[in-house]
Chains A and B, each alone.
Chain A
Amino acid sequence: MKILVTAKRVPDPEIKLRVAGDGSGYVKDGVKWVVNPFDEIAVEEALRIKEKLGGEVVVVSIGPADAAQQVRQTLAMGADRGVLVKADGDVDSDAAGRAIAKIIGEEKPDLVIMGKQAVDYDSGQATAIVAQLLGWGQAAYASKVEVAADGKTARVTREIDGGLETVDLTLPGIITADLRLNEPRYASLPSIMKAKKKPLKETTFAELGVDAAPKVKSLKVAEPPARKAGALVADVPALVKKLHEEAKVI
């Protein structure tokens, strides 16, 4: 089974981002970059499926030349090869979706797994755009994936509002990884060394024949207004008094 996975380079979610001086975006200099955590889960799931059924795991990323580092990280986890679509500056979900769909058309994987959203812009659009462009089914927010032995379908448990939904997805199809699908493995030192020799192909939007002009443009980025901290209360009776008489919520 050939599985294609995406791995976006995003700022480390643990750090605090600063707004750029002109307010157009966030400061990228000096930021620690990581593989989008949801994509890491997608890579892990692909590796587990490969370990069971055999095959190949191809990782696709879109980003600046430096994003090769993040692709290498997924190769160190165990993916077989990478494709980096080089693009400086922000690429919107539509352009990303079109580029990924184009690569899928060339690679012809049996299954595609992507993170449910990238934690930088939190848009969560690219997967469904890819699925629509290819006319494929999609099973988003997966917390469990079982690919049938014949590789023709996957039974996916989805975390949705109010409970868990199970669907059968015809393959080729797309799954998005939610938080609790698995715990991604750490790469061992030997596998990090080995990953340096794994193939990583670089391409561009122009080579793919995909228009990178954004349909969505960022006009402004700002920190949300800080919520004013209230006062500490001395004890429980004081708290309940405030809630009852001042806030009038109980």
Chain B
Amino acid sequence: MSKNVLVVAELKNGLRKTTLPSITFAKQAAAKLGGQVHALVIGVDDVQAAAEELRKYGVAVVWTASSPGVKNYTAEAFATVTIKAADAAQAGIVCASATAQGRDYLPRVAAALNAGMASDISGYEEIGGKMAFKRPMFAGNLNQWVEITTERKVVSVRPTEFDAPAAGAPGGEIKALDAAVDPGSLKTKFVEFAEVKSERPELTDARVVVSGGRGTKGPEGYKETVEVLADALGAAVGATRAIVDAGWVPNDWQVGQTGKVVAPELYIALGLSGAIQHIAGMAGSKVIVAINKDPDAPIFKISDYGLVADLFKAVPELLAEVKKVG
């Protein structure tokens, strides 16, 4: 038993795209264990639509759990439901993407199942006949391979490290999980969510990210360079921890080990030196471009294309040149 892999989906105006890489991991792991992939959708709104969507990805069973206690996310409620689903699915591995949500409640699931957990995994391989989960540590300065010694295992999957699975004809069945949560039993109560509204693509999903650091010289300079270029390219915007701490841009824009981890096709770094903390959040990008007036900036060591220039001169030129090729 316990050969199946349970993936817990995340909802945000429907199925959140960050769920998909976890399905890829789950399919690979299930193939290794000789089991099936089960998915779990928790929530009140959008649950059926998300469950239908999940059927396209080679999932044997999609469990749905809707009750008043899961209308808003809480770690307690999501853990309670996931623990029940792990039994219903006979799951040997329980996983979800390592988003703010997945990282929050999965350790509770591990504690309840008496399972070991590996956080933020970027891959796995066999070492000495043991399944070793690869994960970044010390802000991505080192990689660690860990063995989970318990029969049941919990992992959070770094969504930028696995591709989304190809969608196929819908298969598998949708089953309602018997896991109602009484809202009165919860010790955390949702009050409100202040969404950072933006017309731009989401940082973690964007094909192109334009990011800025101290070299943008201030909120105005950041707007003139990073935001203008991002909007011309249809890109998301990012920032270093230094300028987030300085209050130039919203917290939500921070790229780095303590912020968002991104891996777009194109990452354009403007006026940022490339602190290890920042690099840990973007080194997985396919193509990295750096523009910085300091030729010794560490960012050039990891860039595919570097330009030593004053970005306040380079960005307007860049806009004009991009128009020519676009």
Contacts and interface: CB of A to CB of B under 8 A. Distances in A.
Contact of B191 (A119, A167, A170, A219): A167
Given A137-B188, A163-B196, A250-B326, A217 B266 contact: no
B303 A230 contact: yes
A168 B193 contact: no
Contacts of B233: 250
Interface in B60-113: 74-76, 79, 99-101, 103-112
A229 B301 contact: yes
B98 to A, nearest CB: 9
Nearest to B194: A164
Interface stretch (A42-50, A70-78, A91-99, A190-198): A91-99
B119 A125 contact: yes
A169 B287 contact: no
A131 to B, nearest CB: 6
Interface in A51-84: none
Interface stretch (A104-112, A200-208, A220-228): A220-228
A149 interface: no
A246 B187 CA distance: 55
A32 interface: no
Contact of A169 (B110, B149, B188, B244): B188
A244 B111 CA distance: 50
Given A161-B100, A247-B304, A124 B110 contact: no
Contacts of B139: 13, 119, 122
Contact of A125 (B79, B117, B308, B322): B117
Contact of B149 (A168, A214, A220, A223): A214
Contacts of B303: 229-230
B48 interface: no
Interface stretch (B161-169, B213-221, B250-258): B250-258
Contacts, number: 259
Contacts of A243: 266, 287, 289, 305
B149 A221 contact: no
Interface string A146-173: 0000000001000111111111111001
B179 interface: no
Contacts of A94: 110-111, 116-117
A232 B128 contact: no
Interface stretch (B35-43, B130-138, B170-178): B130-138
B248 interface: no
User: Contact size class for A?
Assistant: 35 or more
Contacts of A124: 103, 107, 119
Nearest to A165: B193
Contacts of B314: 236
Contact of A180 (B112, B146, B245): B245
B138 A119 contact: yes
A215 B194 CA distance: 38
Contact of A222 (B108, B111, B143, B186): B143
Interface residues of B, number: 93
B188 A168 contact: yes
A168 B117 contact: no
A56 B108 CA distance: 28
B288 to A, nearest CB: 8
Contacts of B112: 132
A244 B251 CA distance: 32
Contact of A215 (B109, B150, B204, B283): B150
B72 to A, nearest CB: 9
Contacts of B189: 167-168, 170
A233 B305 contact: yes
B325 interface: yes
Contacts of A120: 137-138
B206 interface: no
B199 interface: no
Given A123-B119, A132-B112, A221-B145, 14 more contacts: A17-B142, A128-B106, A159-B251, A161-B100, A215-B115, A216-B146, A220-B127, A220-B145, A221-B142, A224-B142, A230-B288, A237-B321, A239-B318, A247-B287
Interface of B: 12, 74-76, 79, 99-101, 103-112, 115-120, 127-128, 130, 132, 136-150, 186-196, 202, 204, 208, 233, 241, 244-245, 251-252, 257-258, 260, 265-266, 277, 283, 286-289, 295, 300-309, 314, 317-318, 321-322, 324-326
17 contacts: A122-B138, A124-B107, A128-B108, A129-B111, A137-B75, A159-B100, A167-B189, A170-B188, A179-B245, A215-B116, A215-B148, A216-B146, A217-B146, A236-B318, A237-B317, A242-B305, A247-B304
